Amino acid sequence: MAATKPHSTIETTADPGSLPVTTLGGVGPALVEMLARLGLHRVQDLWFHLPLRYEDRTHLTPLADLRPGMRAQVVGVVEAVEKTYRYRPQLKVAIGDGVMQTLLLRFFHFNRAQAEQLRQGIRLLCYGEVRQGSGSLEMVHPQYQRLAESADIALDDRLSPVYPTTEGLGQKRLAGVIAKALQLLPTAEQLELIPPSLCADHGLTSLREALLYVHRPPPDAPIDQLTQGTHPAQQHLAFEELLTQHMSLKRLRAAVRERRAPVLGGDGGLRRRWLESLPFQLTSAQQRVTKEIAADTTQPRPMLRLVQGDVGSGKTAVACAAALDAVEAGYQVALMAPTELLAEQHLRNFRHWLEPLGMAVEWLAGKQQGKARLQAMRRVAEGAPMVIGTHALMQESVEFARLGLVIVDEQHRFGVQQRLALRDKGLEGELVPHQLVLTATPIPRTLAMSAYADLDISAIDELPPGRTPVQTIAISNARRVEVIERIHAAGAEGRQVYWVCTLIEESEQLRAQAAEAAHAELTHALADCRVGLIHGRMKSKEKQAAMDAFKSGELAVLVATTVIEVGVDVPNASLMVIENSERLGLAQLHQLRGRVGRGAVASNCVLLYQPPLGQLARERLQVMRETNDGFRIAEKDLELRGPGEVLGTRQTGQLSFRMADLARDAHLLPAVQRVGEQMLAQYGEQAGRLIERWIGGAARYANA
């Protein structure tokens, strides 16, 4: 009876989903704290805490049937146990099934009690991912339990969901709390927020059925569909989540557009003087986008525009034209970039362009300290026309006099909240600044429809004349000596070379070590060439000195980590070697390749890979060899890696879907847009509750 008590208590409550998790039996302060770390505060949050994947523990797999890559449940008897200490402690446990089949269990984290428990003759039930070891198949850190010698094995009668969790909160305990929350699910009619008339054509199951199915798949559930996310229950949830994302961004846009912005109108004299000083003419695509921006900024409502253009298409010049219009109208401009290297590149460009026009350009970055920082902040507060920097521009201590235009480079490295934080710096009475967002990552149309629904989009779809397409080849690391000989030949012809080092670990220290090793190798092999080095752990002045030496031609070869991915322009560099290229995504490979081919000389990119290649890596390298088209590469990147990777949202937390997958669910987006427009226009209350359900406090509409 105790299990039904909360249910009977809640039936009189209009909205059981809004109740705190403490309403559920057995949820004490320690568990509340762990749930809060996952963003789970209300009963409704638990309903929509969806499984990452499923484990099939409904049957046993014979050891003879195991294959690498499988996740399987097996039973076996411990035949041998060994503790080793090579590099780090390891516990190796060999289990067998009595028919000449053996599986190795490998543990890197274990205690003495565990090691003593896993002794010869013990019978184990194990679940984990099968890998190919050096001599046999193995499982690394499998889940396991000891079995009595002749005990029957109790198999699950349904698929087991695996949830996102946090330290100290095991799957079993989390699943138990979610099961209690599911007892409080209201009726299908009470739970549904999308009017049936709007989605009658889409064949969606009821939301109640969908939630119960994904949390408790029946024994005969199609595991392939659930694994791929294509089951109708998952598709209903994906539709609702995409709809929520779309409506939240539309609301954000509408709220911003209701505000007033400064009119950045003038006679364009400052911009004309700048254009006349340039040694080149803007392309027709640059001129078109410049006009689109000017049409926005001369209106009294805030511009929200994304300018996307391939590497080298001239986005910076377009941004400069917009900045000059703002300054001419008496307002300040802030340009924010994600890295100091890219921000410094912008600083040099803008100072080169604007100082001859009598405009000072201020610099404000995190590493700037002491008197220099205080003086820069004072000049910005007093009205310095333009300031360029990194995240430091968003700090509370930074104040502007009259901020009229915010330019954000590489938007996907920041996220919506950070962009809004900088925009809030410009609040002046009822006025908010215009926003111009730049990206060199071409965004697939499907992604733009959902991820950037709050922005108008302009595309610079034309490269400046004289650019030559980069020829790309993929070569095994076994032919490394040939590649180095090719570098030597390029150096003898007066051409310059990038050698880019990558490591799969997200560690600047390890990347720096890899770059230093390559630098030593190339310095020895290319005795008559001067080889430079740049990596993320160097001081800003050291990095700049290396880049300046390379730009001036003092260095024939620059060994670098991926810090040179954006913002570096050396027209004489016509050969790039990317080491361990199989470890990078398509967008990053394309960005790196864009550092060559910036002059009139034919350029080449060598993708050096370590065999054997996996299927995904093979596909990526093939696409790079076939095309220089950034939009085609972006579409393929979305297909292979998914939106979180393409947008870099693992760092920002933006667009981190629980169920939806933009590549897989692109077919839902036209209906999402149509239903979203109707809900916002006709069913505003339900739209707000839907956004609260999926996004909660993460969305900022009221203050946008």
DSSP, residue by residue, 147-185: E-TTPPP---SSPEEE----TT--HHHHHHHHHHHHTT-
Q: What is the pLDDT of residue 645?
A: 44
- Three-state secondary structure string covering 514-560: HHHHHHHHHHHHCCCCCEEEECCCCCHHHHHHHHHHHHCCCCCEEEE
Q: What is the pLDDT of residue 405?
A: 94
Tokens of 335: 């340009």
**Secondary structure percentages of the chain, helix, strand, coil, to 5:** 45, 20, 35
Percent of the chain with pLDDT over 70: 86
Report in angstroms the alpha-carbon separations of 62 from 113, 125, 132, 387. Answer: 29, 12, 16, 66
Regions of the chain where pLDDT drops below 50 = 1-12, 504-507, 566, 643-655, 699-704
Q: What is the pLDDT of residue 503?
A: 61
Alpha-carbon distance 122 to 124, whole Å? 6
pLDDT, tens digit, 9 for 90 and up, residues 509-518: 555 567 888 8
Q: Which amino acid is at 312?
A: G
Q: Which amino acid is at 186?
A: P
Q: Choose the CATH number for 59-155 among 3.30.1370.30, 3.50.50.60, 3.30.70.260, 2.40.50.140.
A: 2.40.50.140
Alpha-carbon distance 86 to 88, whole Å? 5
Question: 315-328 and 340-354 are packed helices; what angle lies between their axes, rounded to 10 degrees?
Answer: 60
pLDDT, tens digit, 9 for 90 and up, residues 636-683: 776 665 544 444 333 333 446 788 887 788 788 888 989 999 999 999
Tokens of 257: 């557009």
Tokens of 343: 């921000």
What region does 274 belong to: left with phi over 0, alpha with psi -120 to 50, or beta? alpha
Tokens of 579: 């080491």
Domain ranges across the chain: 59-155, 187-258+667-704, 262-460, 470-627
DSSP assigned state of 468 = -
The CATH superfamily holding the domain 262-460 is P-loop containing nucleotide triphosphate hydrolases (3.40.50.300)
Q: pTM to 2 decimals? A: 0.65
Question: Is 470-627 in CATH node 1.10.10.10?
Answer: no
Q: What is the pLDDT of residue 216?
A: 93
Residues 335-353 as b/e (b if ≥16 CB within 10 A, e otherwise) read bbbbbbbbbbbbbbbbbeb
C-beta atoms surrounding 508 within 10 Å: 15
Tokens of 446: 């499907």
Same fold, 262-460 and 470-627: yes
